[in-house]
């Protein structure tokens, strides 16, 4: 049963994609997509229940035991990412009802969207390195399609850069997988933990780890590999950019967290120390980059980069509290950043542009939207008692505990500069009167468009507030996630079975004894 709980969050979006595509010519497609998103959420919540009950759950696909087949596994971090993906997916599926034009639906918007969700979810659930690559590709190719869907000239230009840089990172990652396989003979991530530790040439392991760091670094958009993100995120439709902003970079961060807590822990003094500096530079250059922009979505894009730095910092500091902060940050940021992009779409609809110089007056005419902007914006800036404050608090506290004053200083400074950018949007889009004298009241948009766009904005804002006011369960959850990451014993046991949690023996031919049960129910040995 656990097995199917793990499968469903991946299978449902795929099935939805197929059906929605076959129905793409009529209005049914969007409702199918919406229904599929609801089902995905239900399935991921069911998985969450299972994880809360059992700690870490794992299942062997095709019924071949690890490390021979492909394992799906969900620990606290994995499952929370799945749930949050489903939430973001549902939010944007609702939003798309209002925003996505029929023309794009006929070109297969919903199918691409659902495969994107499937790819992201697969990446969070897989316990196999090569399989992770495959999910990365599913996600990537779907995102390519979504990014250029609609085909404006800006989108094509953005697409070229996005595609080019992401393909390079993918190939670096793929080569890294090949080399790691060459060193250990295995692909299962839990199995790799022991196998990598047993490799004689640890220096070489670190070199390969660098390839992974660069590959994931491009995906996560860390300094100085983030170019593709500000080059592209402001160009597609708003629903698409919200999903991208919420999820895509997080997959890179997640992969980094997974690999650099589970597998590459042999040379923390080098890899993680390096990552601290990378994180700090990411935080700083991102937030500074935002200050130079005058477009709603471009500002938000640079802030994604900046916030990614906090998450990787949580990993880099590598203490329970820091990782806890990193996990908390990850979850909080998906909700908040996706929501901000959704708000920018609504602002665009009402005021006619995302260029801050060309819009204004939203505060006076659409006070409700103003509130809905303030919540995620100030959460992003780390204002208490919103979710972002606790995330920042954990990271800062972790760095102060380590007596890393400079790290704490940069974390706080970046928070301050984030306020600057958020208030810039607030001042120019909301407080300032509209330069053309337009009153951007909500009824400028028909209710059939406005309602679907506002519902997810409200929902995500409520979540931000709830996490902010009642953080205890979320903090607890993040704490367990961090513990599981720092001590992957339960993860390894869940994947490989009892007795495997200890570091695996060095490579030996005798290991090849098949420990799997044959698929005896249906076949049996000939």
**Footprint on residues 195-214 left by another protein (CB under 8 A):** 195, 199-204, 206-211, 213-214
Residues sharing a CB contact under 8 Å with residue 506, sequence separation 6 or more, in sequence order: 198
CB 421 within 8 A of CB 289: no
CB 444 within 8 A of CB 350: yes
* Least CB distance to another protein at residue 274 (A): 8
Among 55, 102, 465, 483, binds another protein (CB under 8 A): 102
- Closer residue to another protein, CB minimum distance, 250 or 298: 298
Q: Does 499 bind another protein (CB under 8 A)?
A: no
Percent of the chain as helix, strand, coil, to the nearest 5: 75, 0, 20
Among 31, 38, 45, 178, binds another protein (CB under 8 A): 178
Q: Does 325 bind another protein (CB under 8 A)?
A: no
Whole-number Å distance between alpha carbons of 233 and 223:
17
Name beta bridge partners: 60: 71
Q: Does 172 bind another protein (CB under 8 A)?
A: yes
Task: Looking at residues 415 to 444 of the shown chain, list those that interact with another protein (rule: CB under 8 A).
Answer: 415-416, 419-420, 423, 427, 430-433
Among 25, 49, 52, 291, binds another protein (CB under 8 A): 291
For 70-138, the DSSP string reads: -EEEE-HHHHHHHHHHHHHHHHHHHHHHHHS-HHHHHTTHHHHHHHHHHHHHHHHHB-BHHHHHHHHHH
* Ramachandran class of 62: left when φ > 0, alpha when ψ lies in -120 to 50, beta otherwise: left
* Least CB distance to another protein at residue 64 (A): 6
Q: Does 280 bind another protein (CB under 8 A)?
A: no
Whole-number Å distance between alpha carbons of 237 and 152:
10
List the helix and strand counts (H, then E) for the chain.
Answer: 22, 2
Among 26, 49, 52, 401, binds another protein (CB under 8 A): 401
CA nearest neighbour of 471 among 392, 369, 410: 392
Q: Report in angstroms the alpha-carbon separations of 474 from 30, 354, 397, 478.
A: 33, 34, 17, 6
- Closer residue to another protein, CB minimum distance, 14 or 318: 14
- Closer residue to another protein, CB minimum distance, 333 or 392: 392
Task: For the chain, report the end-to-end CA distance as a whole number of angstroms.
Answer: 28
CA nearest neighbour of 391 among 463, 311, 466, 319: 311
Among 25, 49, 52, 164, binds another protein (CB under 8 A): 164
* Least CB distance to another protein at residue 231 (A): 6
Backbone angles phi, psi at 458, to 5 degrees: -65, -45
Residue 404 DSSP class: -
* Least CB distance to another protein at residue 133 (A): 8
Q: Sign of dihedral through CA atoms 295, 296, 301, 305?
A: positive
Task: Looking at residues 19 to 48 of the shown chain, list those that interact with another protein (rule: CB under 8 A).
Answer: 21-22
* Least CB distance to another protein at residue 157 (A): 4
* Least CB distance to another protein at residue 398 (A): 10
- Closer residue to another protein, CB minimum distance, 45 or 475: 475
- Closer residue to another protein, CB minimum distance, 140 or 335: 140
Q: Does 159 bind another protein (CB under 8 A)?
A: yes
Among 26, 54, 103, 451, binds another protein (CB under 8 A): 103
Site size toward another protein, by CB under 8 A = 179
Task: Looking at residues 441 to 470 of the shown chain, list those that interact with another protein (rule: CB under 8 A).
Answer: 446, 448-449
* Ramachandran class of 119: left when φ > 0, alpha when ψ lies in -120 to 50, beta otherwise: alpha
* Least CB distance to another protein at residue 495 (A): 14
Q: Does 395 bind another protein (CB under 8 A)?
A: no
Q: Does 406 bind another protein (CB under 8 A)?
A: no
With CB under 8 A as the contact rule, which of the stretches 43-51, 217-225, 242-250, 486-494 interacts with another protein?
217-225
Among 443, 462, 466, 516, binds another protein (CB under 8 A): 516
Residue 188 DSSP class: B
């Amino acid at each position: 049963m656990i097995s199917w709980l793990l499968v469903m969050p991946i299978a449902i979006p795929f099935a939805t994609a197929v059906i929605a595509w076959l129905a793409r010519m009529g209005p049914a497609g969007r409702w199918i997509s919406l229904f599929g998103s609801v089902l995905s959420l239900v399935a991921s919540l069911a998985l969450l229940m299972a994880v809360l009950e059992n700690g870490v759950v794992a299942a062997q696909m095709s019924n071949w035991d690890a490390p021979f087949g492909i394992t799906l596994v969900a620990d606290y971090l994995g499952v929370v990412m799945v749930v949050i993906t489903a939430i973001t997916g549902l939010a944007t599926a609702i939003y798309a009802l209002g925003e996505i034009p029929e023309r794009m639906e006929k070109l297969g918007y919903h199918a691409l969207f659902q495969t994107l969700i499937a790819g992201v979810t697969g990446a969070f659930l897989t316990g196999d390195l090569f399989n992770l690559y495959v999910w990365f590709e599913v996600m990537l190719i779907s995102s390519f399609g979504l990014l250029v869907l609609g085909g404006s000239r800006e989108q094509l230009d953005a697409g070229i850069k996005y595609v080019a840089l992401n393909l390079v990172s993918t190939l670096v990652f793929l080569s890294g997988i090949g080399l790691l396989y060459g060193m250990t003979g295995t692909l299962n991530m839990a199995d790799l933990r022991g196998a990598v530790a047993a490799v004689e040439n640890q220096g070489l392991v670190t070199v390969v780890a660098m390839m992974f760091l660069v590959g994931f670094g491009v995906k996560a958009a860390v300094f100085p590999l983030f170019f593709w993100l500000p080059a592209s995120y402001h160009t597609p439709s708003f629903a698409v950019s919200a999903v991208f902003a919420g999820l895509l970079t997080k997959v890179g961060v997640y992969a980094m967290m997974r690999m650099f807590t589970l597998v590459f822990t042999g040379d923390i003094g080098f890899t993680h120390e390096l990552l601290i500096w990378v994180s700090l530079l990411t935080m700083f250059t991102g937030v500074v980059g935002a200050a130079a922009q005058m477009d709603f979505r471009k500002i938000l894009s640079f802030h994604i980069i900046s916030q990614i730095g906090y998450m990787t910092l949580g990993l880099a500091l590598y203490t329970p509290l820091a990782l806890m902060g990193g996990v908390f940050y990850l979850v909080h940021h998906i909700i908040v950043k996706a929501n901000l992009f959704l708000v920018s779409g609504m602002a665009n609809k009402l005021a006619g542009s995302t260029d801050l110089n060309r819009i204004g007056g939203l505060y006076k005419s659409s006070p409700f939207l103003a509130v809905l902007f303030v919540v995620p914006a100030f959460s992003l800036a780390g204002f208490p008692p919103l979710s972002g404050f606790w995330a920042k608090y954990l990271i800062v506290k972790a760095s102060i505990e380590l007596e890393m004053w400079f790290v704490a200083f940069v974390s706080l400074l970046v928070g301050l500069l984030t306020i600057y950018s958020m208030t810039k949007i607030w001042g120019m889009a909301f407080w300032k009167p509209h330069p053309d004298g337009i009153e951007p009241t909500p009824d400028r948009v028909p209710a059939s468009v406005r309602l679907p766009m506002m519902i997810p904005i409200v929902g995500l804002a409520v979540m931000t507030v709830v996490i902010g006011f009642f953080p205890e369960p979320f903090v607890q959850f993040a704490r367990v996630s961090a513990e599981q990451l720092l001590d992957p014993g339960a993860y390894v046991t869940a994947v490989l079975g009892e007795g495997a949690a200890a570091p695996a023996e060095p490579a030996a031919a005798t290991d090849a004894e098949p420990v799997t049960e044959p698929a005896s129910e249906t076949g049996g040995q000939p």
